């Protein structure tokens, strides 16, 4: 962008080379804003866009800050803005560079503090991790990740392994059930032999405390059930009987999961004139199930049909009689 024309020759150029009448020249000069000290549009910076804040002009001392394009990050310590001074913008170097994303989050390790506030990770940059609580370092594997050429992080090895809790030992007159392992996060379950009662926790889990791992609960006691109780316990064994699983009663089972037509049969003996009336009804909604009024509704509409049927038969008989007479 060139600065606004301020001199008479510039105005003459504007008018197509002709000398404008003096009055028009005066008017033009008055109408052109005082552009002294204004800067033009801020310069282009690679991989960045200026934040113009909606400004149309850039007077002396205006500061314009740039934002890096997506996938680019500001290089720390480099200027990211320009200042309008004496008609000119200050110099700005290329300050946006490609960067890896924030380093991969690992369940077994966390990024060392010194990198946690950083967001610029150029190609070849390495970051270090430290093991999380409950994990210990596997020194045979590297704890570093590198920002690769394609700006992704190198694949992490599992350089921290779960710590193991001490072996729980034997549970006298009982059993320790190790379902998975004794590693950080694992649970173990306790049970007592027949004739013994468990006093204490029924399970324990391996958790991290300070720089170590330990069991949440100690082994329980398996206490001998007392003689009087034992006498009964001899063939009963348990204080409470086992729960019984009974078949759901047929009436409960019979409740259909989906709407089902209800078939109502009307005995032929009661209304001999009608050919066996088998009528199907749909119960309106499942909410009506078990509601006595719904059954009554079915009955009344059935009766209506019967009356209609009876009238029809009467008419037929009447017609037949008329035909016979005729
Ligand atoms: C931008 O990154 C490249 C490597 O990708 C590096 O060589 C260059 O020095 C970086 N530029 C700045 C300004 O840090
Ligand atoms: C980036 O490069 C690495 C190593 O060259 C490769 O394993 C990985 O798949 C690449 N990732 C993408 C997203 O291209
Ligand atoms: C241990 O616990 C698991 C799961 O709770 C169970 O399947 C298994 O039978 C138990 N083993 C013993 C020896 O109690």
Residues 212-262 have pLDDT tens digits of 999 999 999 999 998 865 555 555 555 555 556 666 655 544 444 444 444
Question: Does 142 reside within a domain?
Answer: yes
Question: Does 214 reside within a domain?
Answer: yes
For ligand 3, mutation pick of 168, 174, 179, 194 (most atoms within 8 Å of CB): 179
Task: Assess whether 115 and 158 both reside in one domain.
Answer: yes
CA atoms within 13 A on the CB side of 159: 18
Question: Does 140 reside within a domain?
Answer: yes
Ligand 3 pocket check for 179: Cβ under 6 Å: yes
For residue 199, what is the domain's CATH number? 2.10.70.10
CA of 192 to the centre of ligand 3 (A): 13
Over residues 225-236, the pLDDT tens digits come to: 988 655 555 555
Closest C-alpha to ligand 1, atom 6: 122
State which residues form the domain around 22.
1-32
For ligand 3, mutation pick of 168, 170, 175, 177 (most atoms within 8 Å of CB): 177
pLDDT bin (cut points 50, 70, 90) of residue 302 is: very low
Q: How far apart are CA 193 and CA 174, in angstroms?
A: 5
Ligand 3 pocket check for 177: Cβ under 6 Å: yes
Last residue of a domain, one of 238, 258, 284: 238
Question: Does 90 reside within a domain?
Answer: yes
Over residues 172-216, the pLDDT tens digits come to: 999 999 999 999 999 999 999 999 999 999 999 999 998 899 999
Task: Assess whether 234 and 178 both reside in one domain.
Answer: yes
Closest C-alpha to ligand 3, atom 6: 179
Q: What percent of the chain has pLDDT above 70?
A: 58
pTM of the complete model beyond 0.75 = no
Q: Which of 79, 47, 51 is nearest to 65 (CA)?
A: 51
Question: Does 104 reside within a domain?
Answer: no
Token pair, residue 117, equals: 């506030």
CA 222 vs. chain centroid, Å, equals: 45
Mean per-residue pLDDT, 62-78: 95
Task: Assess whether 158 and 187 both reside in one domain.
Answer: no
Question: Does 123 reside within a domain?
Answer: yes
Give the pLDDT score at 243: 55
Ligand 2 surroundings by CB, under 6 angstroms = 148, 150, 152
Token pair, residue 93, equals: 């170097």
Task: Assess whether 73 and 52 both reside in one domain.
Answer: yes
Q: How far apart are CA 86 and CA 4, in angstroms?
A: 15
Domain count, the chain: 4
Ligand 1 surroundings by CB, under 6 angstroms = 75, 97-98, 122-123
- The residues pairing with 222 across neighbouring beta strands, listed in sequence order, are 198
Q: Which of 59, 54, 51 is nearest to 81 (CA)?
A: 51
CA of 147 to the centre of ligand 2 (A): 10
Question: Does 130 reside within a domain?
Answer: yes
């Amino acid at each position: 962008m060139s600065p606004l024309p301020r001199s008479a020759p510039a105005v003459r150029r504007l008018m197509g080379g002709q000398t404008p009448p003096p009055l028009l020249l005066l008017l033009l000069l008055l109408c052109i804003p005082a552009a002294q000290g204004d800067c033009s549009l801020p310069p282009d910076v690679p991989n960045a866009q200026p934040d113009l804040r909606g400004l149309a002009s850039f007077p002396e001392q205006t500061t314009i800050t740039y934002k890096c394009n997506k996938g680019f990050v500001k290089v720390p310590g480099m200027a990211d803005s320009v200042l309008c001074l004496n008609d000119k913008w200050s110099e700005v170097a290329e300050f946006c560079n490609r960067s890896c994303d924030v380093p991969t989050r690992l369940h077994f390790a966390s990024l060392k503090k010194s990198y946690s506030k950083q967001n610029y990770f150029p190609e070849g940059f390495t970051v270090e991790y430290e093991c999380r609580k409950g994990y210990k370092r596997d020194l045979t594997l590297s704890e570093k990740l590198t920002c690769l050429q394609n700006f992704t992080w190198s694949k992490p090895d599992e350089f921290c392994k779960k710590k193991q809790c001490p072996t729980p030992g034997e549970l006298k007159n009982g059993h320790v059930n190790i379902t998975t392992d004794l590693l950080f996060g694992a649970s173990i379950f306790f049970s007592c032999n027949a004739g013994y009662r468990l006093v204490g926790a029924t399970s324990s889990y391996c958790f991290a405390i300070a720089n170590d791992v330990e069991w949440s609960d100690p082994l329980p006691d398996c206490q001998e059930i007392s003689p009087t109780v034992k006498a009964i316990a001899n063939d009963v064994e348990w204080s409470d009987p086992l729960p019984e699983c009974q078949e759901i009663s047929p009436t409960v089972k019979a409740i259909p999961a989906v709407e089902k037509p209800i078939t109502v049969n009307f005995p032929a003996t009661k209304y001999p004139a009608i050919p066996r009336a088998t009528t199907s009804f749909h119960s309106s909604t499942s909410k009506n199930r078990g509601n006595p009024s719904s059954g009554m509704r079915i009955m009344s509409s059935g009766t209506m049909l019967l009356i209609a049927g009876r009238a029809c038969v009467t008419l037929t008989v009447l017609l037949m009689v008329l035909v016979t007479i005729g």
